[in-house]
A and B are shown apart, each in its own frame.
Chain A
Amino acid sequence: AQSVSQHNHHVILSEAASLELGCNYSYGGTVNLFWYVQYPGQHLQLLLKYFSGDPLVKGIKGFEAEFIKSKFSFNLRKPSVQWSDTAEYFCAVMGGATNKLIFGTGTLLAVQP
């Protein structure tokens, strides 16, 4: 069965600090990987996705993630966070022929000005 593990449940950073949120998945076959973000009071929206090709993918608002197949990981990074990045971040996997997203439990990021 597919599963996603997010190691950090709550992260507090100061503005301009670097961010890395961990995501590991469990699935033996071909996977599609996603990071979704939910800003306070807003819908879930896609931050970035990996389907194939270059394992380093860039998303909106300066975010990037690296797919490391050997580690079953898809960590999210941003070199310098802003107060407006305060949100909840969800890693998700879609494996094989299925169309369903399997989400992690989310990481709540609070950026202090």
Chain B
Amino acid sequence: DTGVSQDPRHKITKRGQNVTFRCDPISEHNRLYWYRQTLGQGPEFLTYFQNEAQLEKSRLLSDRFSAERPKGSFSTLEIQRTEQGDSAMYLCASSFGLAGPLGEQFFGPGTRLTVL
């Protein structure tokens, strides 16, 4: 399968614990996005990388959230001191683009986080 992959697919954690998710984009894609989706809502943008540079962050991304893409390939999203409100599906997407917004975003299967 050459699509976007995410690991783990499910994560259950206790409030206050730290969690880290990984996203592997489609290999030739230079852009990588993180979104969060809660029940009954559409995905909400969190952050976006072009190669290894984090170019945009949503105000939804509090200080407890950090994302990295160290070598311009895979990305990690870490949530520190998780809260029950962090329970959601975390989606990763990737696309190819040199300039401007064009380029279809391909989504991964998501990581479902449950904070007890």
Query: Interface stretch among B36-44, B71-79, B80-88?
Result: B36-44
Residues of A within 8 A of B100 (CB): 97
Q: Which residue of B lies closest to A91 (CB)?
A: B42
Q: In the complex, A92→B58 CA distance in Å?
A: 17
Please determine whether A43 and B102 come into contact, CB atoms closer than 8 angstroms: no
Task: Tell me how many residues of A have a C-beta within 8 Å of chain B.
Answer: 23
With A32-B101, A98-B56 given, is the CB distance from A103 to B43 under 8 Å? Answer: yes
Please determine whether B104 and A94 come into contact, CB atoms closer than 8 angstroms: no
Please determine whether B3 and A46 come into contact, CB atoms closer than 8 angstroms: no
Q: Which residue of A lies closest to B95 (CB)?
A: A99
Residues of A within 8 A of B25 (CB): none
Q: In the complex, A48→B56 CA distance in Å?
A: 25
Task: Tell me how many residues of B have a C-beta within 8 Å of chain A.
Answer: 30
Residues of A within 8 A of B91 (CB): 44
One of B4, B93, B101, B110 near A98 (C-beta < 8 A)? B101
With A94-B101, A98-B56, A98-B101 given, is the CB distance from A103 to B44 under 8 Å? Answer: yes
Q: In the complex, A101→B104 CA distance in Å?
A: 10
Please determine whether B42 and A103 come into contact, CB atoms closer than 8 angstroms: yes
Q: Which residue of B lies closest to A99 (CB)?
A: B101
Interface residues of A in 34-92 (CB under 8 A from B): 36, 43-46, 49, 51, 90, 92
Q: In the complex, A43→B101 CA distance in Å?
A: 22
Binding site for A on B (CB under 8 A): 3-4, 31, 33, 35, 40-45, 48, 50, 55-56, 58, 91, 93, 95, 97, 100-102, 104-110
17 other contacts beyond A90-B42, A99-B50, A101-B105, with CB at 8 A cut-off? A32-B101, A43-B4, A43-B108, A44-B91, A44-B93, A46-B104, A49-B104, A51-B102, A96-B101, A98-B56, A99-B55, A100-B48, A101-B33, A101-B35, A103-B42, A105-B41, A106-B41
10 shortest interchain CB distances as A-B pairs: A103-B42, A100-B45, A44-B107, A99-B101, A43-B107, A103-B43, A90-B42, A106-B42, A94-B101, A105-B42
